[in-house]
Amino acid sequence: MILSYTKKSLPLKKIFRVANSSKSIVNNVFIEIAHGNTIGVGEAAASEFYGENTNTIVSTLKEISKFLPDDPLVIYSIMEFIEQKIRGNYSAKAAVNIALYDLIGKIFDVPVYKVLGLDAASSRIVTSVTIGIDSIDKIRSDVIAVENYPILKVKLGTDIDYEIIECIRGLTSKPIRVDANEGWDKSEAVEKINWLEKQNVELVEQPLLADDLEGMRWVQERVRLPIIADESVRTSRDIPNLLHVFDGINIKLMKCGGISEAIRIIHTAKSFGLLTMIGCFIETSVGITAAAHLSALCDYVDLDGHLFLNEDPYCGVSIDRGMIELPDSPGLGVGTR
């Protein structure tokens, strides 16, 4: 198999702000893995939060290309070997893993969800759409602009959190999922989560700093809303430390290393009775579609990262009034625009 890559700078429609960062452009890396005349595509979305950027991704891909075998079907053996050779660098690993699944689907002329033993009907799950941190007036405009989406994911972790929710509740009664992105301390988290419970909020993601598990345990004992781990979890190896601390986990292909590890995380989490969410970074339709093929396995879906791009160079999964619609063509089902 032959691996090649391309770097792309992707401007956003507007500055996207969360409690711990903001951005107006993302720099992602796209790969192709060729096996004979068949090509699988993948995407790596760099996250500086996890110590990655386009340079680390490219360096990792160059290393992986040196020892890729010729048989894409032994995907678990390939990923285990890569994990032994290279520590971290999970978005680069995700790009390779996604491309291998795309390749396998194309070889057997079936969509990736069928490779995984799933069906499209059970994958028709509603995704939330994200409202980033901004002024109250701009948040009001953003909520109105996504009125066709039935579930909102609202970024908090500011000094106007109450005003944000009150503004949104003045416009709509639809369910809200809150993501604090590590933006609160533990006393603030308890106070705000208990208030949010009264505002038809379904769950809260990552209230405290990722490594503050004792603080998170203290919070969980004092609230009733489900608390979902995001920054606190990367791979299945992290899950045992999160028991009795969080009620669920947010799985992202870019932070765990791809579809293979995401499946392992989902089954491990379910075995411990944890809720599961499939989420994303700001990615194109390559990464979003890859994650969407796993949506049938999860309790919650948050796959809207491509909607923030000024222009998505790829097409794949479609979203109709929040409903995920998987393509039925072989592999991921993505193409260029």
pLDDT digits (tens, 9 = 90+) for 113-154: 999 999 877 767 899 999 999 999 999 999 999 999 999 999
The predicted-structure confidence for 62-120, as pLDDT tens digits, reads as follows: 999 998 998 999 999 999 999 999 998 999 999 999 999 999 999 999 999 999 999 87
Q: How far apart are CA 293 and CA 193, in angstroms?
A: 32
Q: What is the pLDDT of residue 141?
A: 95
**Residues recorded for the chain:** 337
Residue 3 has pLDDT above 80, yes or no: yes
How much is the pTM?
A: 0.94
Same domain, yes or no: 266 and 138: yes
User: For position 167, which CATH number holds?
Assistant: 3.20.20.120
User: What is the pLDDT averaged over residues 141-168?
Assistant: 96
Same domain, yes or no: 161 and 256: yes
Query: DSSP label at 292?
Result: H
Task: Write out the catalytic residue numbers.
Answer: 155, 179, 205, 230, 252
Domain residue limits at 79: 2-109
The predicted-structure confidence for 7-66, as pLDDT tens digits, reads as follows: 999 999 988 888 777 788 999 999 999 999 999 999 999 888 888 999 999 999 999 999
Residue 23's CB is within 10 A of a number of other CB atoms, namely: 14
Last residue of a domain, one of 78, 109, 140: 109
What is the residue whose two structure tokens read 């700078």?
9
Residues contacting residue 15 through CB under 8 Å, at least 6 positions apart: 22, 23, 24
Same domain, yes or no: 56 and 122: no
Residue 170 has pLDDT above 70, yes or no: yes
The predicted-structure confidence for 264-293, as pLDDT tens digits, reads as follows: 999 999 999 999 999 999 999 999 999 999
Residue 308 has pLDDT above 70, yes or no: yes
The predicted-structure confidence for 192-235, as pLDDT tens digits, reads as follows: 999 999 999 999 999 999 999 999 999 999 999 999 999 999 99
- Secondary structure of the chain: what % helix, strand, coil (to 5)? 40, 25, 35
Same domain, yes or no: 138 and 187: yes
The answer to whether residues 243 and 233 touch, using CB atoms and an 8 Å cutoff, is no
Q: What is the CA radius of gyration of the chain?
A: 19
Same domain, yes or no: 7 and 145: no
Same domain, yes or no: 104 and 136: no
Same domain, yes or no: 41 and 136: no
The answer to whether residues 77 and 97 touch, using CB atoms and an 8 Å cutoff, is no
Q: What is the pLDDT of residue 120?
A: 77
Same domain, yes or no: 76 and 193: no
User: For position 65, which CATH number holds?
Assistant: 3.30.390.10
User: What is the pLDDT averaged over residues 149-162?
Assistant: 96
Q: What is the pLDDT of residue 123?
A: 65
Last residue of a domain, one of 94, 109, 124: 109
Q: What is the pLDDT of residue 57?
A: 95
Same domain, yes or no: 130 and 87: no
The answer to whether residues 204 and 178 touch, using CB atoms and an 8 Å cutoff, is yes
The number of folded domains in the chain is: 2
Nearest Cα residue to 102 out of 289, 302, 298, 324: 289
The answer to whether residues 193 and 208 touch, using CB atoms and an 8 Å cutoff, is no
Same domain, yes or no: 84 and 134: no
The predicted-structure confidence for 231-270, as pLDDT tens digits, reads as follows: 999 999 999 999 999 999 999 999 999 999 999 999 999 9
Same domain, yes or no: 73 and 122: no
Cα dihedral across residues 287, 51, 85, 265: positive or negative: negative
Last residue of a domain, one of 70, 85, 109: 109
Same domain, yes or no: 143 and 91: no
What is the residue whose two structure tokens read 């939060």?
49
Q: What is the pLDDT of residue 119?
A: 86
